[in-house]
Structure 1
Amino acid sequence: MTDVVRMPEHQASFFDAPVFSEGFRVFFPLTALYALFSIAMWGLVLADVLPVPFDADPLLFHQYEMFFGLFAGAMAGFLTTAVPSWSNTPKIAGAELAGLGALWLAGRVAFWTLDIFPSAIVFGIQALFPAALLVVVLPRLLRAKMRHLMWPVLMLCVAQLVCFWEYTELGVLNQGLAIAEGAFVLMVLTALAPVSMVIVNDALSTREDGAVFILRPPMRRAALFCISAFTLAKVLGVSDALQGWLALASACAVLNILQDWHQAGSLRTPFAKTLYLVYWFFGVGFALEAGGLLGVLSAGSYVSGQHMIFIGGLSLATFMVLTIAGLRHAGYSLQLPKVLGLAILSLIGACLVRSLGPLLVPDLDVMQIAWSLFALAFGLYLIHFLPIVFRENVDA
């Protein structure tokens, strides 16, 4: 009797691999890898080791790729992982997730060919990713009644279009970058709300009185309003004085959110301490910008404030989302591994050196120190997380 060979009902495909099972597995390591690559490239360019790849201010293009490359990748990983859970919809996985990752990679490759191909083609390729991300997550956000997360993604699409117009018509990147900065600050402050609830309540779990951490929405909305007004003022190019007062209002509004954090035991864990510090970096960063715009502090204070917001606010918040969401969704408990603790300290050091170093020690060349610490942080992240994203969840 001839044996009958039975084919499996479902033939595993390339897209069934664990790495394509959730958004964080694709976008978090890509974000960390690109952080290493981009900071190394720009460090060499700004140190005159490599030639400037574009006929424009390299600092502006450094900011551009931090926004549309690094931060956009992290945002995509967060949204594609968290939104399906919040909306009780199927996971964004398989070929759909791989396609989003491919669009993000195509945009990064296109960026580095800006001096080779027409800008319309380059910016057109880059615009595909935020547009596709919006198409994928928008129905889920509407279902979960979380429209507030939709607006930063829309702002990012607008920023991409404005950058294209500015570069082709004026050869600069000013208003588009201002919109992108505002979009990511709003996204981070919005996304930190549910993340902070989980982290701080975990820190409070040892209290016997059943204390609960609840963020009051009016305080966060006031901060979002002030930051939106400051962003609009920068885009419209209003007077430095008005921008300065709006920056100061943004600083006060962000720090006002921390009133909800002041409970005994709320900062017991390193996760809670770091997220608390993110708000301080945002607040002090806006205050430094205000001091520079109003002439109360030196002109360099504005640049220092920008770097405190970019590194201490946006980059550190991004790193914490990569860490917390990565651990939780891979099935691990909220225990900070030592290697990631060292990475967090390294990123904090990069922020302090780059933002406060030029103000406190003007003769010190802080660039290489800051870049090295920044690269070390994301390098350590990759060492810990790369093995995780290629295997099944530990609780699967």
Structure 2
Amino acid sequence: MTAAMTGTDPNTATSPRQPETASPRGGIPRGLARTGPILFSYGFRPFFLGAGLWAFASMALWIAALAGHLPIGGSYGATYWHAHELLFGFSTAALAGFLLTAVPNWTGRLPVSGWPLAGLFAIWCAGRAAMLAPDVLGLTASAAIDALFLPALAFIVARELIAGKKWGDMKILAAVLFLTGANVWFHAAVLTGGDETIPARLGVSAFTVMVMLVGGRIIPSFTHNWLNRFGKKPLPMPFGRYDIAAIVVGAVALGFYTAAPSNPLTAIPATLAFAMQSYRLYRWRGWKTASDPLLLILHLAYAFVPLAFAAIAAAALDLVPTWSVLHILTVGVISTMIVAVMTRASLAHTGRALSASRITQASYAALLLAALSRPLAGFFPEHAMFFYSASGVLWLAAFGLFLIQYAPILVGARR
């Protein structure tokens, strides 16, 4: 049940039987809910579904707004709404689905489910509704409603990590708290006419750090299990001191990028991070997994990490536009890794075979092409509209295919 989140082999791992509910100290009911909608029986179900639906719907609304057919975001501003909803709406839903499923396995405690899970999901939905028409309640009230979700998620994660004495995993909580601050800062900047690009970069950087942390655990572990099953050598290098150093250097480079993306000094840590992350990816032997798309996509998604650091260095030296870097990070690093994790975890946690169907593979291909095409608008400004349109259509195709394949799985019974 928890293999896709931890790196164990799902074909051999077993899961302990969970009681229906538990009421631990602290008042957070936990356990696999046996009554009520199956959607709220486990954290990945509502939040992966919500992430897929909002990724598709928010992009469709954005395209309609660009075409002049539909005003969105009200006085908050359509451009700001688009940036906010993809970064702090879609992406945070996927993050919640992952954490609410992974953290119980890290701690050995039971997962939040049932009404508490439904309540947390309702807070996320309320944020989406408030931001879609922020003038109904007022900009400040709408921003406040949206800002409730990440602190609530952080509280649950903190409570479980502390209760489970998993002090080493507190770095994930730190990234969530950075993301929480970035969301509040983004709202404040928009409402006061400040610079919203800094909190946007901070949010993107927090997500990227989480990709480096979690991806660096699960990708080599899954690859090791798969290669070992078929007797292929050499095996990926396990997580060690080099990985810690690569993450630290990457975090420093992202700090420079957040504060001063156009400063030539930013190119120094970014170039070092590019080299270290490239070698880190090489150590995982991803090319040997080409016959397993469900595993290969994790390596391809992580490949955008060193690519992003190379782009950060190039932008700092005024070789590429800084906003092209932002889209390499958001569509390439964050969104591609989100889809890679959501598809694998949805299959594993519902008792299905870890095999990528043609629909899943088509979804991967569309998102990879979207991630590659969107930044090209900065390199070929005379063809910018073509790349904008192509990336938007490819995004819709990727998440439309994801919903076709995985919506029935997420709301259906575990096999």
TM bracket, shorter-chain basis: 0.7 to 0.9
- The answer to whether the 8 A contact 1:119-1:164 is kept is no
Q: Distance in 1 between matches of 2:172 and 2:406?
A: 27
- The answer to whether the 8 A contact 1:15-1:98 is kept is no
Q: Distance in 1 between matches of 2:410 and 2:269?
A: 42
Match of 1:385 in 2: 406
Is the partner of 1:333 in helix, strand or coil? coil
Match of 2:196 in 1: 173
Q: Is structure 2 residue 119 aligned with structure 1 residue 96?
A: no
Amino acid at match of 1:104: W
Match of 1:21 in 2: 41
Match of 1:371 in 2: 392
- The answer to whether the 8 A contact 2:38-2:412 is kept is yes
In structure 2, do the counterparts of structure 1 residues 259 and 216 end up closer, same or farther at CA, with 3 Å as the change threshold?
A: farther
Shift of 1:260: 1.7
Q: Distance in 2 between matches of 1:58 and 1:289?
A: 26
Which of these residues, 160, 165, 188, is aligned with residue 211 of structure 2? 188
Q: Distance in 1 between matches of 2:373 and 2:287?
A: 31
- The answer to whether the 8 A contact 2:61-2:72 is kept is no
Shift of 1:357: 5.3
Q: Deviations over 1:342-396 (max 9, x none)?
A: 10011111112212355258425211111111111111111111211222211xx
Shift of 1:56: 6.2
Q: Distance in 1 between matches of 2:261 and 2:235?
A: 43
What stretches of structure 1 of length at least 5 have no aligned partner? 1-9
Which of these residues, 96, 105, 127, is aligned with residue 125 of structure 2? 105
Amino acid at match of 2:309: F
Match of 1:216 in 2: 239
Q: Is structure 2 residue 183 aligned with structure 1 residue 160?
A: yes
Which of these residues, 277, 281, 286, is aligned with residue 254 of structure 1? 277
- The answer to whether the 8 A contact 2:351-2:414 is kept is yes
Is the partner of 1:363 in helix, strand or coil? helix
Q: Is structure 2 residue 70 aligned with structure 1 residue 50?
A: yes
Q: Distance in 2 between matches of 1:214 and 1:234?
A: 29
Amino acid at match of 1:65: E
Amino acid at match of 1:367: Y
Shift of 1:277: 1.4
Amino acid at match of 1:215: P
Shift of 1:55: 4.4
Is the partner of 1:366 in helix, strand or coil? helix
Q: Distance in 2 between matches of 1:239 and 1:320?
A: 31
Match of 2:325 in 1: 305
- The answer to whether the 8 A contact 2:359-2:405 is kept is yes
Match of 1:3 in 2: none
- The answer to whether the 8 A contact 2:34-2:41 is kept is no
- The answer to whether the 8 A contact 2:219-2:284 is kept is no
Moved over 4 A (4+): 54-57, 209-212
Out of 234-243 and 321-330, give the one that drifted further.
234-243
Q: Is structure 2 residue 329 aligned with structure 1 residue 272?
A: no
So what's the TM-score if we normalise by structure 1?
0.88
So what's the TM-score if we normalise by structure 2?
0.84
In structure 2, do the counterparts of structure 1 residues 307 and 371 end up closer, same or farther at CA, with 3 Å as the change threshold?
A: same
- The answer to whether the 8 A contact 1:343-1:381 is kept is yes
- The answer to whether the 8 A contact 2:71-2:78 is kept is no
**Identity across matched positions, percent:** 27
In structure 2, do the counterparts of structure 1 residues 121 and 273 end up closer, same or farther at CA, with 3 Å as the change threshold?
A: same
In structure 2, do the counterparts of structure 1 residues 44 and 263 end up closer, same or farther at CA, with 3 Å as the change threshold?
A: closer
Which of these residues, 138, 147, 154, is aligned with residue 127 of structure 1? 147
Question: How many residues align structurally?
Answer: 380
- The answer to whether the 8 A contact 1:67-1:181 is kept is yes
Match of 2:13 in 1: none
Match of 2:370 in 1: 350
What stretches of structure 2 of length at least 5 have no aligned partner? 1-20, 22-32
Shift of 1:293: 2.0
Shift of 1:337: 1.2
Is the partner of 1:261 in helix, strand or coil? coil
Match of 1:139 in 2: 159
Shift of 1:326: 0.6
Instruction: Give the RMSD, CA atoms, in angstroms.
Output: 2.5
